[in-house]
Structure 1
Amino acid sequence: MQVFERYESEVRSYIRSFPTVFERARGCLLVDRDGREYLDFFAGAGVLNYGHNHPAMKRALIDYVEADGIAHSLDMATTSKERFLERFHDVILEPRGMGDFRVQFPGPTGTNAVEAALKLARKVTGRELVMSFTNAFHGMTLGALAVTGSTFKRAGAGIPLAHASSMPYDGYFGPDVDTIDHIERLLGDQSSGIDVPAAIIVETVQGEGGINVAGFEWLQRLEDLARRWDVLFIVDDIQVGNGRTGPFFSFERAGLHPDIVTLSKSLSGFGQPLSVTLFRDELDVWDPGEHNGTFRGNNLAFVTGAVAIDEFWQDDRLTRHVDELADVVGESLTKLAANHPAVTAGVRGRGLVHGIELTEADLATRVTAAAFERGLVLETSGPTGSVVKLLPPLVIERHDLEAGLEILHAAVAASRVS
């Protein structure tokens, strides 16, 4: 590790949790340069929903590069972009009643998609404020940080973050407090100090915020509130979209109809940077070039993204697989929580994003370190890092999932979590 310690900035983080040099990966396995294998329950923070180096995507990518396919194109027209747009519309958007949605490529990362969504909402409505939620995470650029909850991350901006208002997420005050009524009261009170916002941005499951899961009824009432106050409704599906909760979009089973959706992470299917901002056709008020970015034309990502759509989303097999494995994870973690009182908030999650909260961050760190020693990669989340977070590839086989869960049980026991 001497090269990284000598040359890389102190800002590096995951390398500290996983102190080895990785060399190869396939499916749900990472292999370091000493040949040791690790089950990956981190999946690139949700980038690798389809696992590492999926063979169909890899073959398509190799063939494309060998044929001198265009790699970088800004927003010019290319055959790979054309195919991605067609497959995304025909397989993903149209069957879900979103055939009239426009696709904007704002830049390669999730925070680029969020910045475009916020800017568009303000342009459409003429308002400045954006409403977000406690424990939210939307990215590390200034606009996205303004609607992010973490004090630590917000402080990194170095300047005041304005034109945003944070509201209590579902369950923030406990199960007996209706936070939608709270928001409604503030909007309706001329002396609350809260202006009617341009948009409300929400994650259906807060991944970085500690695996906080919003109930379907709460989400439906939030959308209804947005409609009644003529506020644009944005769903940030960057981490929990692309099948992470079962369906392609995390909001499908809640019956939501967002005005704007942000997607990134696993959209390319292969780890290539790719993000999109989706919005209803009538919201497409951009002037040409008004929002752009040098790397918004990653054609290598278009190639693998189209393959991912064809491989996994022409039927419901992946969704059913995720649903089945979600039950396995839930049962295993429930048993774990029952045996260890330090698991304070029990088990929470949806699909294949789950977490267990421990009494303090130090315990969660010890658990993930003990898991890594035993060949399992997983991380912590939440405002104090006290949540052990499970984010395995969606394509993981049941026997590999169960093997990883057994390691987690052993890591908890070894960490003296009692």
Structure 2
Amino acid sequence: MSTTTTEALSATTLLRFATAGSVDDGKSTLVGRLLHDSKSVLVDQLEAVERASASRGQDAPDLALLTDGLRAEREQGITIDVAYRYFATPRRRFILADTPGHVQYTRNMVTGASTAELTVVLVDARNGVVEQTRRHAAIAALLRVPHVVLAVNKMDLVGYEEGVFATIAQEFTAYATELGVPEVTAIPISALAGDNVVEPSANMDWYGGPTVLEHLETVPVSHDLAHCHARLPVQYVIRPQTAEHPDYRGYAGQIAAGTFRVGDRVTVLPSGRTTTVSGIDLLGTPVDVAWTTQSVTLLLEDDIDVSRGDLIVPTKDAPATTQDVEATVCHVADAPLTVGHRVLLKHGTRTVKAIVKDIPSRLTLDDLSLHPHPGRLAANDIGRVKIRTAEPLPVDAYADSRRTGSFILIDPNDGTTLTAGMVGESFAAPEPVKDEAGDDGWDF
């Protein structure tokens, strides 16, 4: 099989997707129904769900228990943690992230959707679009998830009325389009009854579109990272010191974007030193080419100083290094993020000291307006920040690469993750603001 054929298969047979929605909209039931009706559930798993459902006095198996694995989730009847499930059909393989709906766990939705190519946003047909629906649409837009499915659930509870579905679909699509979501596909479903999840519904003959599974199997997946400029964050320097390879020095890591080939002229950042790729080892075997998500070891022609945290890039496509990072962030910690906050910024495999110099705006989800100069971001807030780092960082725009255009902020005292950031992303261009951080002694 040729390299081109292998890359094509890799790019078309796997779909990463996430589910999102408000509490009790039926996300876990949808996922359970999807797994059950596509015959992706093992017999012992189904038996365990049947026993758990019977112990709770339920006549039929509660398919939500297939994903709600934590004891607290089962007791409260809500999803808390991100539950990952792996399944496959003859047409495609899937990695599914079932994310929480409660506003308290929005941070987990960011985690689940950060690597997704598609997000399924559920809406209860009785309630329509609510604040948490808008929040999830905003996060999907920020994370640049290319495909969004609006699953209008519990259609059985509104008499399978087409007008109810049409009103919700129109409102959500208009909102998502204003956010910049490139594609919305609306599907009316009943996860509990199985309507339009795997099999077409006999109760909604007015709907002529795909079922949820049919759409998941056929939606085009570009895997745009494979076409981005090549990026390899160095995770480890390998020096085996063996008699067989006395001079071996390799730079190991997972390719974050693009493709590397033997003979490529590359630059190591932030030092700016240039050299040539003399070899690529993949699982201990030399190869001529390697691409996105593969974990490899690069061998370089020249003996230059390279260490963990450095970024190897093609010389012709090297990003600029900067100490001033502007980004849109989703704050995930309980403690607020404030102007002057001293943090650690983790970008790829590199972690540096940094300080929040300004918070120009916070997004109001109700009308997408920007609240200027809030001074702080609370848990689940989305806003713009300006950050000054102690050392130069080679960052891409998030629009160009979701991997090397993203970062997290960490509390230097206890290691808590504070904020997830997307470099250069913005819903609207805020007006220039005066630096309000003051002189705090961190003179970067």
Instruction: With the length of structure 1 as denominator, give the TM-score of the two structures.
Output: 0.26
Between structure 1 and structure 2, the one with the greater Rg is 2
Q: Name the structure where strand makes up a greater proportion of residues.
A: 2
Q: Which has the higher contact order (CA 8 A, sep 6+)?
A: 1
Q: Name the structure where helix makes up a greater proportion of residues.
A: 1
